[in-house]
Amino acid sequence: MHDLLDDYAHSSALTKTSPRLKLLLGLGAMLLCVSSATPIAPIFIAVTMSLITIGIAKTPGRFYFTLLLIPLSFALLSSGVVAFMHGGGDQLFAVNLFGFLLEIREDGANLALLLIARTFGGMCSLFFIALTTPMMEIFSVLKSLGLPDFLVDLSMLMYRYIFVFIDQAALIHNAQVMRLGDAGIKNTLKSHAILSGVLFLRAWEQGERLIVAMDARCYDGRLSLVEPAARAKPRAIFAVMIYIIIVSAIAFLTKDIRLL
Amino acid sequence: MHIMEGFLPLYWCVLWYALSLPVVAYGAYKMNRIIKENRDLLPLLAVSGAFIFVLSSLKMPSVTGSCSHPTGTGIGAILFGPWITSVLSIIVLIFQAIFLAHGGLTTLGANTFSMGIVGPIVGYLVYKACMNRNVNLYLAVFLAALFADWFTYIVTSIQLALAFPAASGGVLASFEAFLGVFAITQVPLAIVEGAVSALLFKYIVQLRGDVLLKLNVASPDIIKKLQEASA
């Protein structure tokens, strides 16, 4: 029912590399994206991150492109608002709508382009992390960074049960569709409510059984986590450093260039 | 409504993180105390968090035809109170960013503030106010989920407007524009989510009223009356 990015992370070619290094690369690229002043560095990040994710991590290209559609509607709507509201500079485009003059000026258009570029650069970096780093490795990094035990445990249990409930939700949904539970708005609403209600009750009962199961296995307030053995290779660290330096240089050198 | 990765400039990302993290830390502190007192609660909180995630990843029947996801935080706030919900929300938001590419990591602070803090607090206050005035439980749940959603969306619009004020009219004009553009999806979505939440509560009351009693969501009299009414 949902393509969870985590499924792809487990079969990626970069699964076995150091999670810290992958997080460093992804987060570094994200931060450079949001701090760059022109669209050039974010576009560079979007392109290179996509190439890394498809080329090196071997994520299926077709699936990757469907992912890129997710941020599209938000990016276009919000940048549209910014483009129309942000004046200054020459008028590029104007339309008279029901007596309101809507116009796009230079500054607005530039800012909107920057925002779209940043969103795509950021999303591509996020996809890189999501498609190469299984959630369990992210937990172990967080744990080594000093996140309290109960929060790590809580997140891991949540992670486990997300898959259980998604399966159950899919089963219930299929059963409802087969019985025409999605015919018309009223039925759809009712089906959706039944699905959520049953899911909550199942979740609750699952939780009650989980307590017993955990007690039976001597749960003492801490789940042990297997630390990943993967350590970063010097060559990989070097490559990541070079990449971040190149992107910073691009962001710095192009900071005064205007596209429009 | 999630702000996508990369949309907010760096200093706004930092600011919203600075505002959200203390609240989440307070929530974590409270949660830790509750778990220490009663260890049974950790698995229940975990399955509830997973439930909120799955609920928010289900596409809702939407009137405008756009793909719309509920926030589910209104229900969380009614069941667990706003502080604990803020902790569950930030974890759910990280999962949403990494599993479904909804939201992002630099915008996590801003999204936590709107969806995990303001929404649940408003929902909780609305719910409590309704219960104090003896409003019907289902209507109270409907209103709580509705206002939790609407305030989430108002706060998101404020966040976007503050980051990108209009040239003429400043933050206020920009706020109105964002509010207007996203109203098309968010206003009906909130009504649908409210209705679904109320119906969801109806099933819980009918089948497992004791769960609501355990969480101290409603008094035994109310649950009993509702169960008799539907029987």
The pLDDT tens digits of the residues spanning B67-101 come to 466 777 888 888 888 999 999 999 999 888 888 77
Do the domain assignments include residue B95?
yes
Mind giving me the DSSP string for A161-225?
HHHHHHHHHHHHHHHHHHTTTTSHHHHHHHHHHHHHHHHHHHHHHHHHHHHHHHHHTT--S----
Whether B5 is covered by a domain: the verdict is no
B-interface mutation test, from A5, A102, A113, A126, most B Cβ less than 10 A away: A126
Res B128 pLDDT > 50: yes
B-chain residues near A80 (CB < 8 A): 181
Check which CATH number belongs to the domain holding B172 and give it: 1.10.1760.20
Q: Cβ contact (<8 Å) for B5 and A71?
A: yes
B91 within a domain of the structure (yes/no): yes
Q: Which helix (H) or strand (E) holds A136?
A: helix A135-144
- Sign of the four-CA dihedral A70, A76, A77, A82: positive
In a domain, B31, yes or no: yes
ipTM of the complex: 0.84
* Alpha carbon of A39: minimum distance to chain B alpha carbons (Å): 12
Residue B179 pLDDT more than 80? yes
What does the pLDDT read at residue B66? Answer: 45
What 8-state DSSP symbol labels residue A104?
A: E
Contact residues, chain A, for B160 at CB < 8 Å: 78, 81
pLDDT value at residue B29: 92
Contacts of B94 in chain A (CB under 8 A): 155
Average pLDDT over residues B9-31: 92
pLDDT in tens, chain A (260 residues): 456 777 778 777 877 788 888 888 889 998 888 888 888 888 999 999 899 888 888 888 888 888 888 777 777 877 877 787 776 666 666 666 665 666 677 777 888 888 888 888 888 998 888 888 888 888 888 888 888 888 888 888 888 888 888 888 888 888 988 988 778 778 888 888 888 888 888 888 888 888 888 888 877 767 766 665 577 788 888 888 888 888 888 888 887 776 66
* pLDDT score at B144: 92
For residue B114, the enclosing domain spans 10-59+69-226
Q: What distances in angstroms separate CA A47 from CA A27, A29, A118, A130, one per listed residue?
A: 16, 12, 12, 17
Out of A82, A159, A207, the one facing B43 most closely (by C-beta) is A207
Q: Is residue B128 part of a domain?
A: yes
Min CA distance, A148 vs chain B (Å)?
Answer: 9
Nearest by CB: A126 against B61, B105, B160? B105
On chain A, the residues whose CB falls within 8 A of the CB of B34 are none
Q: Is residue B2 part of a domain?
A: no
Length of chain B: 231
Distance from CA of B4 to the nearest CA of A (A): 7
Are A70 and B61 within 8 A, CB to CB? no
pTM, rounded to two decimals: 0.87
pLDDT higher than 60, residue B64: no
Residue B231 belongs to some domain of the structure: no
B1 assigned to some structural domain: no
Q: What's the pLDDT at A75?
A: 79
Q: pLDDT tens across A107-157, in order?
A: 778 888 888 888 888 889 988 888 888 888 888 888 888 888 888 888 888
pLDDT in the model for residue A1: 44
Residue of B nearest to A5 (CA): B99
Of all residues in chain B, the one with the smallest CA distance to A77 is B181
d(CA B95, CA B141): 26
Task: Inspect the interface and report whether the beta carbons of A208 and B2 lie closer than 8 Å.
Answer: no
For the segment B184-212, what is each residue's pLDDT rounded down to a tens digit? Answer: 778 888 888 888 888 888 888 888 888 78
Residue A91 DSSP symbol: E
What is the model's pLDDT at position B21? 93
Is residue B215 classed as helix, strand or coil in its secondary structure? coil
Considering its fold, how many domains does chain B have in total? 1
Record: contact B58-A196, CB cut-off 8 A: yes
In chain A, beta strands by DSSP E: 91-97, 100-105
B69 in contact with A, Cβ within 8 Å: no
Residues 87-146 (B) with a CB less than 8 A from some CB of A: 87, 91-92, 94-95, 97-102, 104-106
